[in-house]
Amino acid sequence: MSLYNKFVSQFHDAVASANRNIKDVELIAVSKRKSADEIKKVIELNHVSFGENQIQEVEKKWIDLKTSFPHLKVHFIGGIQSRKVKSIYSCCDVIHSLDRMKIVKMFSECENNQGIFKEYFIQINTGDEPQKSGVALSESEQFISSCINNFNINVVGLMCIPPLNEEPKKHFLKLADLAKNFNLPYLSMGMSNDFEVALKCGATHIRIGTKIFGERS
């Protein structure tokens, strides 16, 4: 049995255990530092959603892959530099990591100019970690309000990466409460080590790398 099939079985069990409907959860296969050939093996198993955190890798692999497999969805899940916004906008379908008003404005301008509309998540730094991307919790409500009310972009949900040394559940619940306050339907949370907890807290998008592709070199 492939790693992918083994994980999908585990994923289905976790969704059932959380009393969730499998149709309500999008499984994002995080393919960072994996070759196009390794990715194709997962595509051949009918997987559709993939995640990358470096735009250079997206440009290197996904322009060709999307030409061959136009139905695929590429999720950008990394920190966003302003000089990379145009490329992220043109190469990716869903952006999970809005965290500064400057880049929100830039994506909005891309949409106004190109007329192609993407889906966006706002990344919240639920642990207020200085080294991590994301909007500080204390500024999160104002930031979300401004994105929704002042920019014509489709903000569909919130994303977080809990601190490594803390119980993830409290961070997932914080994110879920914040999303509920703004009637945002989607929660991008949960990775290989904590996706079961995330599912129980309402995750709609989980981001899985090593359990699908194996360890990264």
pLDDT at 216: 77
Determine the structural domain holding residue 188 and report its residue range. Answer: 3-213
Count of other CB atoms within 10 angstroms of residue 166: 12
pLDDT at 152: 85
Which tokens sit at 131? 């080294």
184/129 Cα distance (integer angstroms): 24
Contacts of residue 129, defined as CB under 8 A and 6 or more positions apart, other chains included, come to 163
Q: What is the pLDDT along the chain (217 residues), one digit of tens a residue?
A: 689 999 999 999 999 999 999 999 999 999 999 999 999 999 999 999 999 999 999 999 999 999 999 999 999 999 999 999 999 999 999 999 999 999 999 999 999 999 999 999 999 999 999 999 999 999 999 999 999 999 989 999 999 999 999 999 999 999 999 999 999 999 999 999 999 999 999 999 999 999 999 887 7
Structural domains counted in the chain? 1
Candidates 155, 158, 167; CA nearest to 204 is: 158
Which tokens sit at 163? 């601190």
Q: Can you give the CATH number for the domain in which 86 is found?
A: 3.20.20.10
pLDDT at 1: 67
**113 conformational bin, left if phi > 0, alpha if psi -120 to 50, beta if neither:** alpha
